[in-house]
Each structure stands twice: as C-alpha cells, then as structure tokens.
Amino acid sequence: MVVFSHGIGGSKDGYSYLGRYFAAHGYASLHVQHVGSDRQIWRGNPLALVSRLSDAAQDAEALNRVQDVKFALDRLLVDPVGKVINVQRLVAAGHSYGANTTMLLAGAKVDMKGRTVWVKDPRFSAAILISAPPFYGLGDPLKIVSEIDVPTLHITAMADDIQIPGYNSGVDDRLALYQATGASTQAAKILAVFKDGSHSIFTDRMGTGGAALNPKVKVATRQLAVAFLNWLQAKDPSSLDLWSGQNAGLLARFEKTAL
C-alpha cells in the first residue's frame, strides 16, 4: 500500500490520477488530508493568505503532518479492510510539502529549537518523493537525509519551481536532496527529471506546465511509480529500464542505483 501526503494547500483528492492507477495495478492507496495545511488555506481574507501559508509551513505543522499519516495508517490497519494489506510492503509518498512529510517518515533527521527530531515510521519500506522542497532554514540537506535507509524514488522537472513568499525554490533543491538522500547508508534510489513541466503538473490540475505536456507527464509519472513498486517486489530493474527508454523524449535525466 502507498500512503500519500498532499502538498501545501492541497487535499486528499488532489492526486487521484496516482491513487486510481495504483489501485488498478494491485496497490492500495491511502490519501491523507492534513488539516492545518490543506485547501482551507485558500479560503478567507485574501490579505491574510501569506500569513496562512507561513503558519502552514511552521515546524509544528510539519510534525503534525507526520502524526496525521501515522494515525491514518494505525486506524486503517485495525479496520477489517486492513486485513488485505501486506504490512511488509508499505510505501510512504508525497508531493511538495507532502514529500517533506514523507522524508521525515522515511528517517530524515532535523534540528528544531535545539533538539534533534527523528520521527521515522519503521513500517515504511520505501518512499516516493515528488517535487521535494528543501527543509527551509534547517541546514545542509546532507545532515538531514543522509541516513535514510530505504529505497527512494525522486521525481521532478526542470521548471519545478515553488513560489510561495519566503519559501521559493527550484529544481536544484530537488537535485541536492536526491544527492544527499541515503548518502551514509547507500540506500537504493532513482531519479527522474522531466525536461519541461511545472511544480503543479504533478497534481490533478490539468493544463499546468502546458496543456499538451500535462497529460503526458501524468501518465509517465504514474507508470514510473508503479514500475518502482514492482522493482521493490521483484528486484528486477527491467521495468524501470523499459520506462526510461519509452519516455526518453520527456526526460532531461534518469538514473538509478542497485537495489
């Protein structure tokens, strides 16, 4: 099962193109909504929007998001439907701010207010990180993500720019996180960088990043995610090699390390 965390200002419904595709290929998909950094941010006085965005990006909300995921997973696994889930094959996933949540669940360590925070959930055996932003103001990514010890899939685009007041970043930040992830553990990882696109092209929004390109990137993204899940199960990289060949025209960069 994939447990998915949405980006800032998003919702559990905003990545249905991924969830439905996972389910169609035998992977359950649990999408968590994070009250405090979800779509409610966009409602209310527009003059206070920047303040609401800033509040949603604070340390407390980052940790609350981790607890949201753990709570949702706990509840699902004790529910009757949880009996059909293979608890040995749980994958954390997220887009943008949700990718930060995913990295924390996968073992990222951050210093907050003079203390080291480590909230890894050992039930997750891999992670999918789409448009992962830096941990703003928390230092060198190598110190934060180098000890992640599970396989990771990193997806971004050359025009994957986050433009939120005080929290702007571009594709170079995604690449720095990729390079630093698992540097100490030598955990397997995959990187896919699309030539074009935008930060929001990875959501359900249509037309962002280009009306013609948007559906192509969505199809390629969901296919890559499932190829990654299959790779984890079968330990066979052929599906990833096939994917990279079929999508070479869309890619600026693709690389993988051994599982």
- Going by pLDDT thresholds of 50, 70 and 90, the confidence category of residue 105 is very high
Instruction: Read off the pLDDT of residues 165-177 as tens digits, 9 standing for 90 and up.
Output: 777 899 999 999 9
Read off the tokens for 75.
């509840």
d(CA 180, CA 88): 26
Q: Class of 2-256 per CATH?
A: alpha beta
pLDDT of residue 40: 74
Contact (CB, 8 A) for 231 and 152:
no
Domain residue spans in the chain?
Answer: 2-256
CA triplet 102, 20, 250: central angle to 5 degrees?
A: 75
Task: Give the tens place of pLDDT for each residue, 23-60.
Answer: 999 999 999 999 878 777 757 766 555 665 566 566 77
Burial of 239 (0-12, 13-18, 19+ CB in 10 A): middle
Nearest to 133 by CA among 186, 77, 176, 88: 176
pLDDT band at 89 (very low <50, low <70, confident <90, very high): very high
Could you report the per-residue pLDDT of 194-228, keeping only the tens digit for each?
999 999 999 999 999 999 999 999 999 999 999 99
3-state secondary structure at position 230? helix
pLDDT value of position 138:
79
